[in-house]
Amino acid sequence: MRTRFPVAVVASTGACALALGVAAPAVAAPAADQDMATVSVVHGIPDMTVDVYANGDELLSDFEPGTVTDPQSLKAGTYDIQIFEAGQGPDGTPALEKKVEVGEGDTATVAAHLSADGKPQLTAFADDVSKVDAGKGRLTVRHIAAAPAVDVRAGGEPVFTGLTNPNEDSAVVDAGTVEADVVLAGTDTVALGPAELNVAEGASTVVYAWGSAEDDNLALATQKFSGMDSMPKAVHAGGDGTAVSANSTEWGAGWIALGGAAAVAGVLAARRFAGRRG
């Protein structure tokens, strides 16, 4: 996806995924691998490069603030997630530690971030990867910044209001690019942005507001999940019947000769008779 944020922003790149110690296939459909879960990690603690361990095994190394990993397949189960300052693990004292349970088929993102009052913490978010209608995209905003409640606006209109750390809000919207900004809840005081945000069709775009208001380093990071597309409801590509009209002998005769008209009429009649038609 293309995002052009005037503020510091890091789209989910493959860079960190390469460092993953687990031998994960690029991406597996969540439902396909029965005992697997899909897990992403986001780093939202400013000024601290970290190593991430899961059950004592290094999952990510030299993980930079503002980075989101690609989704990775992990066996479903409970993971002891430990965050160390880079190079300090696994025998030292973790900067953060949390047990995270991921169930079969779950899609989750674990965020290392600051609490509203600036203390490092780990939060696990369930990622909604359910289908969206054709032409739509899902937009989710997660507040993981040391900052008070915020409103998120698109084109100047509030989309999400009163969002607090460490919570999220989500909506299915028309796909396309919107100009988004983040304001202090109930005010016009811009905390972040405006930024051009591409809500991809048939996908879920997750935006993280991270950093610290006090330290003046609030920033956005984005994450994308694809494969939530639906086909259009129908394709109406006909007009006034010219192609089958009596005075268009060539076409009318052609269709009849093909038998298409009669057979499809039969199909429709049979289906109506069978009661499958509304």
Which of 88, 110, 118, 87 is CA-nearest to residue 213? Answer: 118
Q: Considering the complex, what minimum distance in angstroms separates the CB of residue 92 from other proteins?
A: 30
Q: Considering the complex, what minimum distance in angstroms separates the CB of residue 240 from other proteins?
A: 5
Residue whose CB is less far from other proteins, 23 or 32: 32
Residue whose CB is less far from other proteins, 157 or 236: 236
Euclidean distance between CA atoms 207 and 223, whole angstroms: 6
Q: What one-character-per-residue DSSP string does 46-94 give?
A: TT--EEEEETTEEEEEEEPTT-BPPPEEEESEEEEEEEEETT-TTTS--
Residue whose CB is less far from other proteins, 138 or 153: 138
How crowded is the C-beta side of 179, counted as CA atoms within 13 Å?
5
Q: Which two tokens mark 109?
A: 């993102």
To which residue do tokens 């991430």 refer? 52
Q: Considering the complex, what minimum distance in angstroms separates the CB of residue 22 from other proteins?
A: 16
Residue whose CB is less far from other proteins, 118 or 259: 259
Start-to-end CA distance of the chain, whole Å, equals 40
Residue whose CB is less far from other proteins, 179 or 251: 251
Q: Considering the complex, what minimum distance in angstroms separates the CB of residue 13 from other proteins?
A: 7
Q: Considering the complex, what minimum distance in angstroms separates the CB of residue 75 from other proteins?
A: 16
Q: Which residues of the shown chain bind other proteins in the complex (CB under 8 A)?
A: 1, 11-14, 17, 26-32, 38, 68-71, 107, 127, 129, 131, 133-135, 175, 201-202, 204, 223-227, 229, 231-244, 248, 251, 254-255, 257-268, 270-271, 274
Angle at Cα 67 formed by Cα 186 and Cα 132, nearest 5°?
65
Q: Considering the complex, what minimum distance in angstroms separates the CB of residue 38 from other proteins?
A: 6
Q: Considering the complex, what minimum distance in angstroms separates the CB of residue 167 from other proteins?
A: 21
Residues 6+ apart with CB under 8 A from 119: none
Q: Considering the complex, what minimum distance in angstroms separates the CB of residue 67 from other proteins?
A: 11
Residue whose CB is less far from other proteins, 17 or 147: 17
Q: Are 125 and 106 in contact (CB under 8 A)?
A: no
* φ/ψ bin of 176: left (φ > 0), alpha (ψ from -120 to 50), beta (otherwise): left
Q: What one-character-per-residue DSSP string does 146-210 give?
A: ES--EEEEETTEEEEEEE-TT-EEEEEEESEEEEEEEEETTS--EEEEEEEEEE-TTSEEEEEEE
Residue whose CB is less far from other proteins, 47 or 250: 250
Residue whose CB is less far from other proteins, 17 or 154: 17
